[in-house]
Copies of this chain bind each other. A is one copy, B any other.
Amino acid sequence: MAPTDIDDIPGRPARARDGLFIRVYFGDGRHIGPGMIDLLETIRRERSILSAARHMGMSYRRAWLLVDAMARTFREPVVETHPGRRGAGTNLTAFGERLIALYRGIEQSSAAASRAAMEELRAGLAPLPVAAEAEVATNEG
Contact = CB atoms under 8 A, between A and B. Distances in A.
Give this chain's copy count. 2
Interface of A: 1, 4, 14-32, 72-76, 95, 98-99, 102-103, 105-106, 109-110, 112-114, 117-118, 120-122, 124-128, 132, 136
A62 B4 CA distance: 22
Of the listed residues A4, A21, A121, A136, the one surrounded by the most CB atoms of chain B closer than 10 A to its CB is A121
A12 B124 CA distance: 29
Contacts of A75: 124-127
A50 B12 CA distance: 36
Given A74-B125, A110-B113, A22 B25 contact: no
23 contacts: A14-B25, A15-B29, A17-B27, A17-B31, A18-B27, A20-B23, A20-B24, A20-B25, A21-B24, A21-B25, A26-B121, A26-B125, A28-B136, A30-B125, A73-B125, A95-B124, A99-B121, A102-B117, A102-B121, A105-B114, A106-B113, A106-B118, A109-B117
